[in-house]
């Protein structure tokens, strides 16, 4: 069977990049890490500072390692999917390019040590995920989900930026290690820490920001697998781990994380338990699983930090494999719901075993990596007290229940739909990840070492954790066994629980935070539409929309400016008479411009205003400006006439004979008075103020000879403020392109 399409190089290249990145990170990490520190914009205190510490190594290894597995899976998943949808194969290049961008920004985020740099990579992951989630851009659902993910994580990213700026204002640095040395507990730190933590919580889809993540599962399965495990969502806890030296100074922030993590565990688990849709179930489970991590960080202390890091490893490996399992099952049977599939164990034994091991790892059965993750979780919980410990057991029981339901539902029971044979690359990555999960359950050394180093980077001190099997009746073991028992009971009475769970889900749909999101979206859209409608109704409202806000802003400026020495009426000297006469002419011409009904007359009167202004400049001793004013006025008058000649005959005459609406005339008068009156106030205020001893003008004149110039205006345009000029002439070029586009579909000749 020739199913393999003659392929592009995109998939192999991205897999190779991921593997190379993994190997490189591994080697560098084994060699003791490394630091890169380069100035970026020194005048703004921005540095490109990267460091491969424990936390960075952990997330970089996850991003590249799981990346390699997911990309391999995608290389068999995406091309047939594109073919089914009748899309071009070149989209494969775009897809894999975005995945590599996603991976690269995760690695950058993991290694960045500067808050602003962190922010940049943070937004890069959001941008990459936006395009990946909206991969099926013909589907409205995909677009809504993508924009939701972008808005929720992008708007909260602003909190990260604000938090960073608060810290910078207080301590004068964006560098996280330097900040960690300097920060003092207090309200500033609590504020900044809470803002940064909120950004992280939104990214890892914790309550109340959780709603974007289940929506994001409309993305193609490889994207979900990557997004839920090693990228995007993991970025949230990465930020918390990275900023932990700052966050842990504030008990309030820790408590907030503890509560939010706990609530997220419950909400995610309860919603996952009732779901029928395979990927949706996994999406809710991700919310709950990251709730564990946030909960651990909220507990505080070195063991909790290392346990959180360990949990991230165990979860990422297993969760990416489970998403790929869901995709493989859907590919093989066509079923997307738990109720549509079943009894597949005999048909797909390899997939059943591999995904079974991954489920075992998350629900913490022995001989898997996850067992140790839960052991550490229980250990940290016990230290905090009985209530937390009981909650931890209950949470683990819920996890056991919904993932058990997931696996049992797919692979056991009566056969629902027969399965087609799967391409090797659709199950081999799952098997590889399952092998890693089991290997971690036997040889836990490298994993706990990595987690200890990551914890050490978070608490800036030793955070050694060691894990092993203990065949005794210690608390952790008893808690694990109780959790399994609770889970098994829950699975057994799934039928009894279903109505209550559905009611809970319906409650969430009715009163959940997603409703607030949509309500805000509708509100903002409505406000924007109303303003836009008003603005574009006719030319008058459009001009008013510029003049009135500008006038009001000026008014605010006038009110805020001290008036000392300003607003005085000076004396009139003999030599000013010429200037005054020209100004009177300007005023008369401006008033006259409001009367004519014929458009041609209007243009000529307006040109008179312009020429009179030019004469004013000349009297003020600004011949350069006067020359430009005359030239521009001439050009505009002629262009106006040229445009009029383009209009069909009679239109202008008809327009000029339209009756004038009284009400509109009054409104126009008001707009004119507001803008003109405030412009007058500002001009008067500025011009009557005594000139400072050394203004910028004096400096320009003084420096002109240095620039080899005798004409100050030219040297300002071409040298001192050349960047402004470049911007302005670019506008001229764009205006030209605009005219060519409007009149002749873009031909300039």
For other proteins, the closer CB: 528 or 741: 741
In whole angstroms, the minimum distance from the beta carbon of 614 to other proteins comes to 12
In whole angstroms, the minimum distance from the beta carbon of 728 to other proteins comes to 9
Q: How far is it, in rounded angstroms, from Cα 111 to Cα 75?
A: 28
For other proteins, the closer CB: 560 or 748: 748
**Contact positions toward other proteins, by CB under 8 A?**
623-624, 627-628, 631-632, 634-635, 638-639, 642-643, 645-646, 648-649, 706-711, 713-715, 717-719, 722-723, 725-726, 729-730, 732-733, 735-736, 739-740, 743-744, 748-749
In whole angstroms, the minimum distance from the beta carbon of 654 to other proteins comes to 17
Q: Which residues are paired to 63 by β-bridges? A: none
In whole angstroms, the minimum distance from the beta carbon of 698 to other proteins comes to 17
In whole angstroms, the minimum distance from the beta carbon of 725 to other proteins comes to 7
In whole angstroms, the minimum distance from the beta carbon of 605 to other proteins comes to 21
In whole angstroms, the minimum distance from the beta carbon of 617 to other proteins comes to 11
For other proteins, the closer CB: 536 or 722: 722
Q: How far is it, in rounded angstroms, from Cα 59 to Cα 108?
A: 10
Q: Which residues are paired to 112 by β-bridges? A: 50
CB 457 within 8 A of CB 53: yes
**CB atoms closer than 10 angstroms to residue 602:** 17
Q: How far is it, in rounded angstroms, from Cα 469 to Cα 447?
A: 15
Q: How far is it, in rounded angstroms, from Cα 251 to Cα 298?
A: 9
For other proteins, the closer CB: 553 or 701: 701
For other proteins, the closer CB: 576 or 702: 702
Q: How far is it, in rounded angstroms, from Cα 610 to Cα 591?
A: 13
For other proteins, the closer CB: 140 or 710: 710
- Secondary structure (3-state) at 246: helix
Residue 535 DSSP class: H
In whole angstroms, the minimum distance from the beta carbon of 358 to other proteins comes to 52
**CB atoms closer than 10 angstroms to residue 157:** 20
CB 456 within 8 A of CB 58: no
Q: How far is it, in rounded angstroms, from Cα 389 to Cα 110?
A: 31
Q: DSSP for 355-395, please give it.
A: HHHHHHHHTT-SSSHHHHHHHHHHHHHHHH-HHHHHHHHHH
Burial annotation 260-296 (CB, 10 A radius, 16+ → b, else e): bbbbbbbbbbbbbbbbebbbbbbbbbbbbbbbbbbbb
Q: How far is it, in rounded angstroms, from Cα 83 to Cα 328?
A: 17
For other proteins, the closer CB: 525 or 714: 714
In whole angstroms, the minimum distance from the beta carbon of 729 to other proteins comes to 5
For other proteins, the closer CB: 281 or 615: 615
For other proteins, the closer CB: 5 or 746: 746
Q: Considering all CA atoms of the chain, what is the largest pairwise distance in Å, rounded to the nearest integer?
A: 107
- Secondary structure (3-state) at 52: coil
- Cα-flanking dihedrals φ and ψ of residue 46, to 5°? -105, 135
For other proteins, the closer CB: 595 or 749: 749
For other proteins, the closer CB: 339 or 714: 714
In whole angstroms, the minimum distance from the beta carbon of 606 to other proteins comes to 18
In whole angstroms, the minimum distance from the beta carbon of 731 to other proteins comes to 10
For other proteins, the closer CB: 584 or 734: 734
Residue 337 DSSP class: B
In whole angstroms, the minimum distance from the beta carbon of 624 to other proteins comes to 5
Name every residue whose Cβ is closer than 8 Å to that of residue 332 and which is 6 or more positions away in sequence. Answer: 344, 348, 419, 420, 421, 422
**CB atoms closer than 10 angstroms to residue 19:** 16
Comparing CA positions, the residue from 301, 172, 164 lying closest to residue 244 is 301
CB 281 within 8 A of CB 272: yes
**CB atoms closer than 10 angstroms to residue 496:** 9
């Amino acid at each position: 069977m020739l199913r393999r399409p003659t392929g592009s190089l995109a998939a192999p290249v991205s897999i190779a990049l991921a593997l190379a990145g993994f190997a490189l990170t591994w080697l560098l990490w084994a060699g003791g890490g490394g630091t890169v520190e380069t100035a970026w914009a020194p005048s703004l205190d921005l540095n490109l500072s990267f460091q491969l510490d424990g936390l960075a190594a952990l997330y970089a290894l996850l991003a590249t390692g799981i990346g390699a597995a997911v990309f391999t899976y995608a290389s068999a998943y995406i091309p047939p999917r594109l073919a089914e949808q009748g899309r071009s194969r070149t989209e494969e290049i775009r897809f894999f390019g975005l995945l590599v961008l996603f991976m690269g920004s995760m690695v950058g985020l993991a290694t960045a040590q500067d808050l602003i740099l962190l922010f940049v990579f943070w937004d890069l992951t959001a941008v990459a995920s936006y395009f990946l989630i909206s991969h099926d851009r013909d589907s409205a659902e995909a677009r809504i989900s993508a924009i939701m993910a972008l808005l929720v994580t992008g708007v909260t990213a602003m909190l990260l930026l604000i938090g960073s700026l608060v810290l910078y204002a207080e301590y004068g640095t964006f560098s996280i290690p330097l900040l960690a040395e300097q920060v003092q507990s207090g309200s500033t730190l609590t504020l900044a820490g809470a803002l940064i933590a909120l950004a992280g919580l939104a990214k890892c889809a914790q309550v109340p920001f959780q709603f974007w993540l289940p929506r994001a599962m409309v993305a193609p399965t490889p994207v979900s697998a990557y997004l839920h495990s090693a990228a995007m969502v993991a970025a949230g806890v990465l930020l918390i781990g990275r900023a932990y030296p700052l966050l842990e100074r504030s008990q309030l922030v820790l408590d907030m994380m503890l509560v939010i993590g706990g609530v997220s565990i419950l909400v995610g688990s309860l919603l996952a338990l009732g779901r029928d849709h395979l990927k949706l179930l996994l999406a809710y489970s991700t919310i709950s699983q990251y709730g564990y991590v946030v909960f651990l960080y909220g507990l505080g202390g070195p063991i909790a930090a290392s346990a959180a890091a360990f949990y991230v490893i165990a979860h990422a490996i297993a969760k990416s494999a489970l998403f790929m399992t869901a995709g493989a099952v859907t590919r093989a049977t066509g079923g997307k719901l738990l109720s549509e599939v079943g009894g597949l164990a005999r048909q797909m034994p390899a997939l059943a075993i591999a995904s079974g091991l991954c489920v075992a790892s998350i629900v913490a059965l022995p001989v898997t990596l996850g067992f140790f993750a839960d052991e550490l979780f229980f250990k940290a919980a016990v230290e905090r007290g009985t209530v937390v410990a009981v909650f931890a057991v209950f949470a683990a029981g819920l996890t056991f229940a919904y993932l058990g339901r997931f696996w049992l539902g797919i692979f056991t029971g009566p056969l629902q739909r027969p399965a087609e044979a799967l391409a090797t690359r659709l199950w081999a990555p799952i098997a590889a990840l399952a092998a890693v999960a089991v290997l971690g359950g036997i040889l836990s050394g490298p994993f706990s070492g990595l987690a200890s180093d990551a914890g050490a980077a978070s608490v800036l001190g030793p955070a050694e954790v060691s894990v092993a099997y203990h065949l005794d009746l210690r608390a952790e073991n008893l808690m694990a066994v109780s959790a399994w028992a609770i889970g098994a009971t829950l699975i057994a009475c799934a039928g009894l629980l279903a109505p209550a769970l559905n009611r809970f889900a319906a409650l969430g749909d009715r009163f959940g935070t997603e409703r607030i999101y949509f309500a805000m979206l509708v509100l903002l859209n409505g406000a924007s539409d109303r303003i836009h409608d008003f603005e574009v109704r006719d030319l008058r409202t459009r001009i008013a929309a510029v003049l009135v806000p500008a006038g009001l802003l000026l008014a605010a400026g006038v009110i805020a400016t001290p008036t000392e020495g300003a607003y005085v009426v000076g004396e009139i000297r003999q030599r000013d008479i010429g200037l005054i006469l020209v100004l009177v002419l300007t005023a008369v011409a401006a008033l006259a411009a409001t009367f004519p009904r014929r458009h041609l007359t209007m243009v000529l009167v307006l040109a008179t205003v312009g020429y009179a202004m030019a004469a004013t400049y000349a009297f003020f001793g600004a011949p350069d400006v006067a020359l430009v004013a005359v030239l521009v006025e001439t050009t505009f008058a002629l262009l106006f006439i040229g445009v009029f000649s383009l209009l069909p005959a009679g239109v202008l005459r008809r327009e000029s004979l339209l009756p004038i609406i009284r009400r509109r005339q009054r409104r126009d008068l008001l707009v004119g008075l507001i803008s003109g009156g405030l412009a007058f106030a500002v001009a008067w205020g500025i011009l009557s103020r005594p000139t400072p001893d050394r203004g910028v003008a004096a400096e320009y004149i003084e420096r002109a000879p240095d620039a080899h110039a005798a004409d100050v205006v030219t040297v300002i345009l071409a040298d001192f403020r050349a960047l402004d000029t470049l911007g302005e002439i670019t506008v001229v070029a764009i205006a030209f392109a605009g005219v060519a586009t409007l009149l002749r579909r873009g031909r300039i000749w």
